[in-house]
Structures are given as C-alpha cells and as structure tokens.
Amino acid sequence: MSVVTRFAPSPTGFLHVGGARTALFNWLFARHHGGKYLLRIEDTDRQRSTEAAIEAIFDGLHWLGLDADEPPIFQFARAPRHAEVARELLAKGHAYHCYASPEELEEMRAKAKAEGRPMRYDGRWRDRDPKEAPAGVKPVIRLKAPQEGETVIEDKVQGRVTVANAQLDDMVLLRADGTPTYMLSVVVDDHDMAITHVIRGDDHLTNAFRQTQLYRACGWEAPIFAHIPLIHGPDGAKLSKRHGALGVDAYREMGYLPEALRNYLLRLGWAHGDDEIITTEQAIEWFDLDAVGRSPSRFDFAKLTNLNAHYLREAADERLAADILPRLEAAAGPLDTVGLDRLRRGMPGLKARARTLVDLAQAAEFYVRKRPVQPDDKAAKLLTPEARARLGRLAEAFKGCDWLGAELEAAARRLAEESGAKLGDLAQPLRAAVTGSTVSPPIFEVLEVLGREEALGRIEDAAAPLPPQAISSVSALR
C-alpha cells in the first residue's frame, strides 16, 4: 500500500495546537512510510468559513514546516461530485427520498428527549412509495443504513470499536436544497483523494461508524482509521484558551521556534522511550501509530518553554538575528550594518540565557540602542557618584588595551586591585552603564562585541568627570 494521509481543517477559525498536532502526525506518518501528505480545506460552512482563516491555516502550516505534497483541495468546490454520489446511491437502492416535514422531525426529537435517548430518524420514508409524497415538498436523500448487526472499526489507536447498527439512523446525504452534508463530502473526498489512513482527533470516532457504512454502500474500501486522544489542559479539563488552545500564530508571536513547537506537539500523545529532544529526522524515522497512546495528553507551557530554550541554544546565530530583527526595529528603529553585525556577534552570549525570541529580542536591545543609554531603575541605582568616578578611571585604563574581552577583564582586575576594590565593584556599574541593565551576557564579552568606540562612548556617557590627579594616577598604572 502506498500511504496517503490528509489534514482537513475547517476554516472557521485559526489553526490551533490540536489541529497542528493532527497535521504533524499525518505528515510524519506519510514521511515515515514514504507516502504523500495532502491538505483539504473543508469550507462547506459558507457562513463561518473566511479567507482570513484559510490564509492563517496555510501560514501556520508553512511556519511549522508541514507543507502538503500537492496543492490543497477545497471541499466546497467539489459539491457537484458529492451530490452525484448521493444520486448514484439513490439509483442503486442504497439511499431513498425522505419527505418528512420539519414538524415531523421536531416531533421525533421531542419524543426522544422525553424518553431520555438521542434523536434518531425513525425511517418512516425508508420503504414508502414516493407517490405518497406530499405535494410541493422537496425531499432530502437519506442513506439506507443497515438496521441489524454491528459496524466494526479496527482503529489503529483505539483498537477494535463497535456500535450496534440499531443505534444509528439513516443519515441525510443530500439536503432538500441539493447541498451535500459533511458526512457525504468527507467520504467522497477521502475516496477520490485515495486516502489510505485517516488520522484525526477521537472526537470524530462516532463519525467513523457512519462513514464506514457509507463507504460500504458505495462499494468502496474504507481507509484505515486512527483516532488520537485530544489534548487537555494541565488540570485535566478540556483544553481551552486559558490552557493554551491558541492559534499557532499566537505561539509564533510569543517567541516560540517552529521546531520546538513541533517537538513538543509530537510528545503530546506519542513517545519513543524516554526521549524528549527529538529532531525532525529522528521523528520521521521513529514515528508510527503503534506508539500513540489512548489517554489524553496534558498541555504544559513550562515544558514547551524549556524545550524552546534548548532549540534557541542550538539555532544558528544568523537565523536568530533575522528572527528577532522585526521586534528590535519595532523598538529601536531601523538597524544599520554596524548594529546588525553587533547583533550577530553577540548572539552566542544572548541565546544562552533566552527562553523565547521575545526574551532574546529584549536581551539584545542594548546592542542596537542609540547613545546615550538610559539605565532602568535597578541599573540607575548602581551608578552612584563613586561608581561613576570608577567608570571614568576604567575608561582611561581601557584606552590602552587591545579590544579583546580577556584583555579588558585583565585591565579591570588590575584597576580593582590598585584601588582596593573587588572586580564586582567595577563590573556591575560597568554593566549598568554599557547595557542599561543589571543582567547581560559576560560584560567583557559585551565590550568586545560593541567595539572600542561604542563601548568607550557609553562608559564615558555614564562616568563623572575625572579630576586631573586621578587621570595622572591611571596613566602611571599603565
């Protein structure tokens, strides 16, 4: 069998994490088996489907690296084909016209409610002569479903699942206005797209029984089903916005890398031993449905963030600089080539401490900030008159150094020893002056990245004017 999977979102909202995980599992399964992964936009709900949602789905899948192997299929455009299949079933005696009025259907619904059971159509037109149809009533087309025995699904995740056929009624295939129902459209599309494996959330499991009956009525082989447990919040409740049921675009805006989100979603419901960090290549090699669990997984922002920090440390410096550039320019204005170069050279020290691209951009801002650097409240408290005087002496000491981090640190240590101070007494005000913060990569590394002219300028901006005798003593030290 040549494996063909599909991801089939409805564009009535943005691509959320549950949908992204479904797409990922379909993509990985197809890649693992050397098959194809397709995309179908189920846009039959014309009132709720929007172009913005369609574009968001395309954008989110592309950002995650889950592009389909062929152009997307749009379900609504295939409505004539869906209706054709319904009429074929009617001609073969596997479906029938139903003329039940809205009042009759409401009667059935009320009776079912009073008896405490789900609403099921009672089949009153199943074997009735259409000649008895009331005048002027447009009929629907219903499937003539089996009424005895069971419908069985050998699900690749849930195992063997069955339903008594008596619990399923004759579902509508074609509405009175000639439009196809969701159930019919899905089955026809999956058949025509040659889908071999339907991998989706287990909230579709009940649909699978009806769809299996429809496959059999059409004389088609049903695909292999795999229904994945849904994602829950940390408290075990159904995933909601407060848990993280956000659009994929929200995670990008929060500064998560696509490879980190992919890795995290992979581990929500699937495992390979105790492995937590799984590359895309490993995921393709290892992924299969037998390792998908049957229990709901729990979304944990802390785990996602820790995983993201790992991928930030592993990412190329050039790529991260490009990733945070729009955020930096929004805060500091357009960057020149000097600022871009500083950003790239400073990235190793920056990314070691960041957990998201938002963190990284905030931490990197001091590299591209224009002079004079304005310290934050904590940093300003370090710039006492005494500290400013030390900064002036430090600037003089640095002027005779080769501009390398190790040389600058050695000069600072010498000055600290000569003045009877600790290195921290110089380094902390130095950090405040140069970065405007009390937290940064190693400060002498920062000075090297900034370059002689910029670093000395920032130090001198923050330093108090030095008296002549202090300048003479610094010169004597050199």
Active site residues: 241
Beta strands in 395-473 (DSSP E): none
Rounded distance between C-alpha atoms, residue 64 and residue 37, angstroms: 14
Rounded distance between C-alpha atoms, residue 163 and residue 212, angstroms: 11
Instruction: Indicate the SS3 state at residue 36.
Output: strand
Instruction: Indicate the SS3 state at residue 134.
Output: coil
Running DSSP on this structure, what letter comes out for residue 371?
A: S
Q: How many CB atoms lie within 10 A of CB 398?
A: 20
- With contact defined as beta carbons under 8 Å apart, do 387 and 421 qualify? no
Q: How many CB atoms lie within 10 A of CB 400?
A: 12
For helices 443-450 and 337-351, angle between their N-to-C axes, nearest 10 degrees:
160
Residue type, 64: L
Radius of gyration over every alpha carbon of the chain, rounded to an integer in angstroms:
33
- With contact defined as beta carbons under 8 Å apart, do 301 and 294 qualify? no
- With contact defined as beta carbons under 8 Å apart, do 143 and 88 qualify? no
For residue 113, is it left (φ>0), alpha (ψ between -120 and 50) or beta?
A: alpha
The values of phi and psi at residue 66, to 5°, are -115, 45
